[in-house]
Amino acid sequence: MSFAREAGRAIRSTLVLWVITALIYPLVMVAFGQIAFPFQANGSILTNAQGQPIGSALIGQPFTSDRYFKSRPSTTSYSTADPTKDEAGVLKTGISGASNLAPSNPDLLKRIQETTAQLKQAGIQPTADLVYTSGSSLDPHITPQGARAQIARVARIRRLQPNQLEGLINQNTESRFLGIFGEPGVNVLKLNLALDALNS
């Protein structure tokens, strides 16, 4: 077979398969998602009473003030930035990332020492999820133990009963798939939204 014929067949089959797998397939799926599951297909965006977007049910947010349950430490501060001084362009695209620190890296140990001290100062008994940074830096969850360790602090500041908070934690715990696969996690953003709703 001649070179020209072989090359021609390679190019033509590339283009035909491209139209099917790279144009028709994705665009049909986008259309399906937008029609059948618009909430999920657009990023599970939560809105407030006025219909303004306030976050995503699947993406965590940073919480530093004492009025809220803390989320896990994040290397990107949950893809957040101050809009007035966002030189890195975080808000242009959104980012994700991880520490990539090896277990043998002394920097990891140093960072965890600092985090542990901060947590103890805030009256929280450190748990593994609260001292280790997450994989995506956007982890929406903390473990139920990590949430319970924070009950006393939040209850004191908000003047709430600890058992009320226990109930909120249980309501906002997302369980394993079929009770088997994965680990239960407390959705911190939803938990804190529920806290605010309780106080108002």
Partner 1 sequence: MLQGWIQIALTLMIVVAITPFFGQYMARVFMGQRTFLDPVLNPLDRAIFLLSGMRSREEMTGWQYSRAVLYSNLAMLMFIYLIFMLQGVLPFNPTGLRAPSWDLALHTAISFVTNTNQQHYSGETTYSYFSQFAALGFMMFTSAATGIAVAIAFIRGLTGRPLGNFYVDLTQAITRILLPISMVAALVFIAAGMPETLSGPAIVPTLDNPAVSQAIARGPVAHFEIIKELGENGGGFFGINSAHPFENPNGLTNLIELVAILSIPTSLIITYGIFANNLKQAWLVYSIPLAILVGFIVIAAIGEYQGNPAVNALLGSEAPNLEGKEVRFGWAQSALFAVFTTASMCGAVNSLHDSLMPNGGFVTLSNMFLQIVFGGQGTGTAYLFAYLILAVFVTGLMVGRTPEFLGRKIEKQEVVLASFLILLVHPIAILIPAAITLTFPEQLAGISNPGFHGLSQVIYEYASAAANNGSGLEGLGDATLWWNLSTSFSLLAGRYIPIVALLLLADNMSRKQPVPATAGTLRTDTGLFTGVTAGVILILGALTFFPVLALGPVAEAFQIAKGIG
Contact set for partner 1, span 15-54 (CB under 8 A): 16-18, 20-23, 25-26, 29-30, 32-34, 36-37, 40-45, 53-54
- How would you class 32 by CB atoms within 10 Å of its CB: exposed for 0-12, middle for 13-18, buried for 19 or more? exposed
**Which 119-158 positions form the footprint of partner 1 (CB under 8 A)?**
126-129, 131-143
Tell which phi-psi region holds residue 79, choosing left (phi > 0), alpha (psi between -120 and 50) or beta. left
Please select the residue that binds partner 1; options are 74, 79, 150, 172, rule is CB under 8 A: 79
Q: How far is the CB of 136 from partner 1 (least distance, A)?
A: 4
The window from 104-112, 149-157, 159-167 that contacts partner 1 (CB under 8 A) reads 104-112
Residues 162-181 that bind partner 1 (CB under 8 A): 174, 176-178, 180-181
What is the spatial distance between Cα 21 and Cα 71, in angstroms, rounded to a whole number?
39
Sole window of 85-93, 151-159, 163-171 interacting with partner 1 (rule: CB under 8 A): 85-93
∠ CA 116-171-48, nearest 5°, is 90
Strand partners of residue 47: 53
